[in-house]
Amino acid sequence: MIIKNIDIFHASDGARNNLFIEITTKDGITGTGECYSIGPDKSVISFIEEIKPWFIGEDPKRIEWLLRRAKNNLRFPLGQVGWSALSGIDIALWDILGKDTNQPVYSLLGGATRNKVRVYHAVYGDSAEEVGNHALSLIDDGYSAFKTSPLPSYWRTLNWIEAIRESDKRLSVIRNIIGEDVDLAVDFHTSIPEPSKSIELSNILEKYNLMFVEEPARADFVKSSKEIKNNIRVALATGENLYGIHRFTELMNSNAVDIIQPDLLCCGGLLEAKKIAAIAEAHYITVAPHNPLGLISTAASVHHAASINNFVILEWHGDNKKKKSKFINEDWFPINGFFELPKSPGIGMSLNHREISKNPPMNWDRGFKNYQDGSPGFL
């Protein structure tokens, strides 16, 4: 079996872009993958176009060899663009191998370690009441875990003492609406610049029985994460913007995290994520993959979760109900808060080219947020 070509498909659902790839073989097998939409995205597309010749004509089953050769040939340490490109390629190669052997990918990664994959559903709303009621409606669908922002959207315009007070009120309202029998996590989204403030906020919100606090500092600020972890009584989750075993190992060796959150579309793909999870297992750290981009990402994450020992929970945004679900032929969603393990060969997802062609990419970036004094904020 020989790789014939790598094709890239760039589409938008009106809110964000998706960057899909297909690797085709001369035998007629197509592997589907997705790269993280960095925003701006064209850098990832250009990167893939540049390295396509390294893969065409090669055996797609030699996944470790192909990816290692690419990394070594690039020589300098990869950044987010390179890792995102290789992650999508990795997923598509595993999809090919699964289809060639007529097995789901998790079977090729060591077999199922669990029967189903638990998810937490992100919940949204301008007010605490809207967030709580969104979660309440999802409890009726069988979900038992949720994540939201503890801070109101306008918090950067407030004095810190006011932001703390608003966050406390917000979590109190949300917890009162959803009750004490479901899990609740909060995401700081690296937006608080001082570790001391993240510590203060985490300890104030501890009384709401949080599953974890996410990104109280950027994961690459290892000393800051360690300081926070050592001074809070809630599990610290982070790692969505890290890539490769070396960055994750640095974080874990520093005892700076309780739950790691690799994103399969930028951490290096399924193969790298398996290695990251093994290193985490040796540190008694669990894995909760980052998963905001849609059904290809979800499928890869479910296969990953099914094949490791230390998985705890998967992020989910109800993507089957969003416009982006039209880019995928298969309809897939959790039942009672869990994904059943897929049975079809490969990752179990394929692209709807007609819908992708009808929804061209937009000029997309993350926008800009300022603090109270007009200085640029983390987003």
Residue 333 and residue 195 in one domain: yes
Residue 92 and residue 128 in one domain: no
Residue 73 and residue 135 in one domain: no
Q: Which of 61, 76, 103 is the last residue of a domain?
A: 103
Residue 126 and residue 253 in one domain: yes
Domains identified in the chain, total number: 2
- Counting residues of the chain whose pLDDT is more than 90, the rounded percentage is 88
Residue 91 and residue 126 in one domain: no
Q: Which amino acid is at 139?
A: I
pTM greater than the 0.75 cutoff: yes
CA distance 93 to 298: 17
pLDDT tops 80 at residue 208 = yes
Between these two residues, 365 and 54, which has the higher pLDDT value? 54
Give the residue numbers spanning the domain of 34: 3-103
CA distance 67 to 23: 14
pLDDT tops 90 at residue 193 = no
The pair of structure tokens assigned to 42 is 């064209």
Give the DSSP per-residue string, 289-322: -B--S-HHHHHHHHHHHHH-SSB--EEE--GGGS
Chain-centroid distance of CA 266 in Å reads 8
CA distance 23 to 2: 10
Residue 25 and residue 122 in one domain: no
pLDDT tops 90 at residue 177 = yes
Between these two residues, 112 and 78, which has the higher pLDDT value? 112
Q: Which of 46, 70, 103 is the last residue of a domain?
A: 103
Report yes or no on 204 lying in a domain.
Answer: yes
Residue 194 and residue 318 in one domain: yes
Quick one: pLDDT at residue 364? 78
CATH number at residue 96: 3.30.390.10
Q: Which of these, 155, 226, 145, 161, lies nearest to 188 by C-alpha position?
A: 155
183-187 vs 145-148, strand pairing mode: parallel
pLDDT tops 80 at residue 379 = no
CA distance 323 to 358: 12
Q: If you search the block for the tokens 């029967």, which residue do you land on?
A: 115
Q: Indicate the pLDDT class of residue 333, thresholds 50, 70 and 90.
A: very high
Q: Which of 44, 77, 103 is the last residue of a domain?
A: 103
- Going 208 to 211 to 217 to 218, the CA torsion angle's sign is negative
pLDDT tens digits, residue range 128-165?
999 999 999 999 999 999 999 999 989 999 999 999 99
Residue 16 and residue 145 in one domain: no
Instruction: Name the percent of the chain in helix, strand, coil, to the closest 5.
Output: 40, 20, 40
Report yes or no on 359 lying in a domain.
Answer: no
pLDDT tens digits, residue range 106-133?
999 999 999 999 999 999 988 999 999 9
Residue 175 and residue 324 in one domain: yes
Residue 91 and residue 119 in one domain: no
Quick one: pLDDT at residue 363? 87
Q: Mean pLDDT score of the chain, rounded to an integer?
A: 95
What mean pLDDT do residues 304-311 have? 98
Report yes or no on 357 lying in a domain.
Answer: no
Residue 112 and residue 250 in one domain: yes
Residue 4 Ramachandran class (φ > 0 left, ψ -120 to 50 alpha, else beta): alpha
CATH number at residue 160: 3.20.20.120
Phi and psi of 70, rounded to 5°?
-65, -45
User: DSSP state, 325?
Assistant: G
Report yes or no on 365 lying in a domain.
Answer: no
CB-neighbour burial class of residue 64 (10 A; exposed 0-12, middle 13-18, buried 19+): exposed
CA Rg, the chain, in Å? 20
pLDDT tops 80 at residue 378 = no
pLDDT tens digits, residue range 164-173?
999 999 999 9
CA distance 92 to 34: 8
